Amino acid sequence: MKFHTEYLTMNVPQRFQIVHITENVNSALKKSGIREGMVLVSAMHITAGVFINDLEPGIMEDIEEMLEHLAPYGPNYRHHRTGEDNGDAHLKNILVGHQVIIPITAGALDLGPWQQVFYAEFDGRRKKRVVIKVMGE
């Protein structure tokens, strides 16, 4: 069994931003030399997410609007008693999820025709990391 582990450093200047990272995942897969297995793509922070959807700007805005509606920035979350102001970002992480697993078949990401991988920053303006771990043979 072979393993290849990489870390992306994200440095998003906005509070909320969705970043397309399929090429980073593909690059890690190529370096791994793995032909069958899977790749785990996982945000290493509790105020960020990782998800798969379509590379279409309107969808990204629709996702932001929905998340702002379900877990709005600003209100007086209990988490803010610690001095933080990012309670909404923790809740967005819960709703979106922080990781995906992509199957690898015949040396390629076994994704559908429109599936792309995204990092979702919910509390930017600081460095964060994403782990990409390729596992298989």
Min. distance of Cβ 42 from a second copy in angstroms?
A: 7
Lookup: tokens for 13: 């200047």
* Helix H or strand E segment including 114: none
Min. distance of Cβ 32 from a second copy in angstroms?
A: 12
Residue 35 and residue 78 in contact, taking contact as beta carbons nearer than 8 Å: no
| Residues forming beta bridges with residue 136, ordered by sequence position | 2, 37
| Residues forming beta bridges with residue 40, ordered by sequence position | 101, 133
Judged by CB under 8 A, which stretch of 9-17, 20-28, 79-87 contacts a second copy? 79-87
Lookup: tokens for 89: 């970002």
Min. distance of Cβ 30 from a second copy in angstroms?
A: 19
Contacting positions for a second copy (CB under 8 A): 1, 3, 5, 36-38, 40, 42-46, 51-54, 56-59, 61-63, 65-66, 70-71, 77-82, 87, 90-91, 93-103, 105, 110-115, 128-129, 131, 133, 135-137
